[in-house]
Amino acid sequence: MKAILKNGTALVAATLMTGPALAADMLTEIGPGEGQVNIVAWPGYIERGETDKAFDWVTGFEEATGCKVNVKTANTSDEMVALMNEGGFDLVTASGDASLRMVAGKRVQPINIDLIPSWATLDERLKNAPWHTVDGVHYGTPYMWGPNILMFNTETFPETPQSWNVVFEEMTLPDGKTNAGRVQAYDGPIHIADAAMFLMFHKPELGIVSPYELNQEQYDAALELLRAQRKLVARYWHDAFIQIDDFKNEGMVASGSWPFQVNLLQADGAPVASTIPQEGATGWADTTMMHVDAANPNCSYLWMEHSLASNLQSDLSVWFGANPSVPAACTDGRGMQTAEGCTANGMDDFERIKFWQTPVSACESQGECVPYYRWVSDYIGVIGGR
């Protein structure tokens, strides 16, 4: 795996004309807090009780440390990379399709895990995960992980859909109406991997081993499937709250989504549920990473330690409907989550999920794969009807 990372990192690094930060650049001790920490985060990841008073893991941190938490919400990995390239932020909750790009581009710095006492409590499956560990150096602290689920309207689907075909292929749904104009797809190039997952199951003759490692023939098949999907899609979503509104008010009945939207819709009484269909699912394992030029490194380290507290991880797991990076969050009773809740969120499905990663040309499964910059330009073309 290390060789794969080195190849992928080298490829991205060559594109950006720079290289990863050195382990020698790590902070060696934590000093007084600077008074604030600026974080780029996924929606719903950093709550201070404004959406729901029961979910607040910011106020106590600010009172204890004197570090005011400022949050900039980003809706896609590409947006996160762009914001970190611009600078002005200390931390980012990066998914695997962004993290190595930022390592290679020297946008994030190595993390001194000796300064994070709660590192020892992390899930062993995440401690050395390839999306934040390069040549044995850690570039962040794991935060949360989960699947990209199929969200569906339970009035339209009295029985749980068994396949992703309800969003990929034109058909008559159980309510007697077509799915055309009633489904959505994710507004990000990484959605090509969802199409590849579908093809892995239904067209094994293509020989796809990983949805992120596609040769030209496999890639062309995924694009063909996505162009057919384009005729069905009412909206390509990237804003979680707009998708929530679409399912409540615009007649949407099925889409790839995150547990976060499902939880909020169900709490509002909407007739929605979710599933991981027979083909499996892509997913995300997010890492809190620190900008190489972070203006507030002491508050950043204090936040990373705070983020691994089992009560925070427990409440975040309930709020987002995902899985904590600290297993004790499921069982120690310090937060809202329970062992049964973690099982329901997929804590035992780690091996079933194909976690987001950045596609590179020097791939493991075959001689040469289509790199991410092609995914970006071609997916724009798909959305535009080309």
Tens digit of pLDDT for each residue in 285-331? 999 999 999 999 999 999 999 999 999 999 999 999 899 999 999 99
DSSP letters for 45-85: SS-BSSS-TT-BSSHHHHHHH--EEEEEE-SSHHHHHHHHH
Query: What does the alpha-carbon distance between residue 357 and residue 87 come to, in Å, rounded to a whole number?
Result: 23
pTM reported for the whole predicted model = 0.85
Note the pLDDT tens digit of each residue in 242-274: 999 999 999 999 999 998 899 899 999 999 999
b/e sequence 130-141, b meaning 16+ C-beta within 10 Å = bbbbbeebbbbb
Give the total number of structural domains in the chain: 2
Look at 25 and 150; give whichever has higher pLDDT: 150
Please check whether residues 223 and 258 belong to one and the same domain. Answer: yes
Note the pLDDT tens digit of each residue in 361-376: 999 888 899 999 999 9
- Tell me which residue range forms the domain holding 6: 2-145+284-353
Note the pLDDT tens digit of each residue in 6-54: 333 333 433 333 445 555 468 899 999 999 999 999 999 999 999 999 9
Q: Which residues contact 327 (CB under 8 A, 6 or more apart)?
A: 121, 123, 347
Please check whether residues 62 and 211 belong to one and the same domain. Answer: no
Q: How many CA atoms lie within 13 A of 275 on its CB side?
A: 15
Q: Where are the beta strands (DSSP E) in 271-362?
A: 272-275, 281-290, 323-324, 353-355
Specify the DSSP class assigned to residue 145: E
61 close to 67: Cβ distance less than 8 angstroms: yes
Query: What does the alpha-carbon distance between residue 198 and residue 204 come to, in Å, rounded to a whole number?
Result: 10
Task: Please determine, for residue 105, whether its predicted confidence score (pLDDT) is greater than 50.
Answer: yes
Note the pLDDT tens digit of each residue in 55-90: 999 999 999 999 999 999 999 999 999 999 999 999
pLDDT recorded at residue 9: 36
Task: Please determine, for residue 208, whether its predicted confidence score (pLDDT) is greater than 60.
Answer: yes
Query: What does the alpha-carbon distance between residue 3 and residue 108 come to, in Å, rounded to a whole number?
Result: 21
Q: Which residues contact 88 (CB under 8 A, 6 or more apart)?
A: 38
What is the chain's mean pLDDT, rounded? Answer: 92
Q: What is the amino acid identity at position 112?
A: N
Specify the DSSP class assigned to residue 95: -
**What SS3 class is residue 313?**
helix
Query: What does the alpha-carbon distance between residue 184 and residue 181 come to, in Å, rounded to a whole number?
Result: 8
Please check whether residues 39 and 101 belong to one and the same domain. Answer: yes
CATH number at residue 271: 3.40.190.10
Please check whether residues 64 and 119 belong to one and the same domain. Answer: yes
Helix (H) or strand (E) holding 223: helix 216-230
**What SS3 class is residue 347?**
coil
Please check whether residues 15 and 121 belong to one and the same domain. Answer: yes
pLDDT recorded at residue 5: 33
Please check whether residues 272 and 371 belong to one and the same domain. Answer: yes
Query: What does the alpha-carbon distance between residue 119 and residue 185 come to, in Å, rounded to a whole number?
Result: 36
Q: Please report, in angstroms and rounded to a whole number, the separation of the first and last CA atoms in the chain.
A: 36
**What SS3 class is residue 177?**
coil
Please check whether residues 231 and 260 belong to one and the same domain. Answer: yes
Q: Which two tokens stand for residue 292?
A: 């190489």
Please check whether residues 194 and 290 belong to one and the same domain. Answer: no
pLDDT recorded at residue 20: 54
Please check whether residues 365 and 323 belong to one and the same domain. Answer: no
Given the DSSP bridges, would you call strands 353-355 and 183-186 parallel, antiparallel or unpaired?
unpaired
**Alpha-carbon separation of residue 361 from 10, 90, 132, 225 (angstroms):** 11, 31, 20, 22
Please check whether residues 378 and 230 belong to one and the same domain. Answer: yes
pLDDT recorded at residue 22: 53
Please check whether residues 223 and 137 belong to one and the same domain. Answer: no
Picking from 272, 323, 142, 166, the residue whose alpha carbon sits closest to that of residue 229 is 166
pLDDT recorded at residue 346: 86
Please check whether residues 366 and 379 belong to one and the same domain. Answer: yes
Q: Which residues contact 50 (CB under 8 A, 6 or more apart)?
A: none
